Structure 1
Amino acid sequence: MSGRIITARHGRPNLARDVKITAREYGDWWARYDASGLHPDEEPPAPLVELAAGAKTVLSSTLPRAIETARDVTLGRRKVPADPIFVEAPLPPPPIPFLRLSPGQWGVLSRLFWILGYAPAGVENHWQTWRRVGEIARRLTGLAEEGDVLLCAHGYLNWMIDRRLRREGWRRTGREGGNRYWSWRVYEPACARAPARTAAAAAE
């Protein structure tokens, strides 16, 4: 029987968000976000550590915040392969001059522009990211044939993986933390449903 697929969002990065910046400055801020590791006060939730301990395979994206999350949930006791296929969906700053917003507000606007088709040269567009998510789903499904697999990745990418896995018949059987830092989702294959009652049992 196949194992489960578990996707987890990284912990809180070590970068201030309480600033007002322009779109151009948001591009610089996001680059620093990608380069930053976890805040030194961050600790993984115990249930996520337990899920990692029971996983046959643990993977992460190549961004520092995901690598450090994988290290923390495995308590540093195993080597975790990192692959760029698992990096976050792009957030190119939108072409809006003069406006000053918080990084969180720019993130919402950037995601909206990107979904609507805005992707500067060299930036993966929405359709290309969905194609990448299809490959991620195939890879995770293959690994789950050997046992539970845990992916430490990113918020929006995990949301896209959620849509793909459920479309392909995986059932989301657990969720914790919504889409916040250290949140996770658990999926089981459709064949993991409770066995149907036999005719004899039904007659009892």
Structure 2
Amino acid sequence: MLMRHGKPLINQQGRLNAAEFGAWVEKYNVAGIDTKYPPLPSAIEQISESAFIVCSDLVRSLESTKILGAERIDECASLFREMDMPHAAWRLPKLSIPLWTAFFRLAWVLGYSANVESFKAGRQRAQCCAEHLVSMASTHGSVLFVGHGSLNWLIAKYLTKMGWQSSGKSLRNYWQHTVFTANTIP
């Protein structure tokens, strides 16, 4: 199962220039979870149904796993970190955080990777994550990964290519989750 972490405790309002957006991204990467936005009951259920629990070493992933009620975290690794957001030192224009996020994520996909891993390297890491999660599922049965938006999206693509089928739920919003099952051929 792939699940997106809870809502981070950071101001996502206002207008920033690109340099300020880079500083905001650094704060986002150390932000905890806003407990005013608890997980859905269906998300909490997944903890009890998971034999093995995985998260990244970013605070928002660790705290989300604990807020879900996990008694343990079986693996916590930088391999599972969110895809870093490129940024620049431009002083103009000033745009909203969601607009900068969309702009720089698209620029990253198109090849701009200032200060971060390239899109190609990120895709390779996501493939490694997918293969590692499949290996853990074959060993432990059921695995819950409390991860991040872009990384989960890429992992989902690789799991599908590997023959796994998704419950079809989007991972766009905080606390959303989707279950993948191995496609067994009789």
Alignment TM class, shorter chain as reference: over 0.9
Q: Which residue of 2 aligns with 1:124?
A: 117
- Cα offset, 1:77, TM superposition: 2.0
Give identity over the alignment, percent.
28
Runs of at least 4 residues off by over 3 Å = 94-97
Q: What SS does the aligned partner of 2:92 have? A: coil
1:172 aligns with 2:147: no
Tell me by how many angstroms 1:97 deviates: 4.2
Structure 2 gaps of 5+ residues are none
The residue aligned with 1:114 is: 108
The answer for the alignment partner of 1:160 in structure 2 is 154
Q: Is 2:84 the counterpart of 1:90?
A: yes
Give the gaps of 5 or more residues in structure 1: 1-5, 196-204
Measured against aligned partners, the alpha-carbon deviations of 1:101-130 in whole angstroms (never above 9, x if no partner) come to 111110000101111111125x21000011
Q: Deviations over 1:4-28 (max 9, x none)?
A: xx11111111111111000000000
Contact 1:94 1:110 in 2 (8 A): no
**Amino acid in the other structure paired with 1:132:** R
Task: Tell me: CA distance 1:76–1:190, structure 2 relative to 1, closer, same or farther (3 Å).
Answer: closer
What is the aligned partner in structure 2 of residue 151 from structure 1?
145
Alpha carbons 2:88, 2:114 under 8 Å: kept: no
The reply on whether 1:16 has 2:11 as its aligned counterpart is yes
2:148 is the counterpart of 1:186 = no
Residue 167 of structure 2: SS of its match in structure 1?
strand
2:55 maps to 1:79: no
Q: Who is 1:134 aligned against? A: 127
Secondary structure in 1 matching 2:76 = coil
Contact map agreement 1:37 1:64 (CA 8 A) in 2: yes
Aligned to 1:199: none
Q: Distance in 2 between matches of 1:60 and 1:48?
A: 15
Supply the RMSD in Å over aligned alpha carbons: 1.6
The one of 45, 67, 81 aligned to 1:50: 45
Aligned to 1:61: 56
TM-score by length of 2: 0.93
Q: SS state of the match for residue 41, structure 1? A: coil
Per the normalisation by structure 1, the TM-score is 0.85
Tell me the matched-pair count: 185
The one-letter code sitting in structure 1 at the alignment partner of 2:118 is: N
**Tell me, what secondary structure is at the counterpart of 1:175?**
coil
Residue 173 of structure 1 and its aligned partner are, at CA, apart by: 2.1
Counterparts of 1:83 and 1:38, CA distance in 2: 19
Note if 1:29 corresponds to 2:28.
no
The answer for the alignment partner of 1:202 in structure 2 is none
CA distance in 2, matches of 1:40, 1:184: 18
SS at match of 2:99: helix
Q: Do structure 1's residue 7 and structure 2's residue 12 form an aligned pair?
A: no
Q: Match for residue 201 of structure 1?
A: none
* Distance in 2 separating the partners of 1:102 and 1:157: 23
C-alpha spacing 1:17/1:78, structure 2 compared with 1 (3 Å)? same
- Taking the aligned partners of 1:174 and 1:186, their CA distance within structure 2 comes to 8
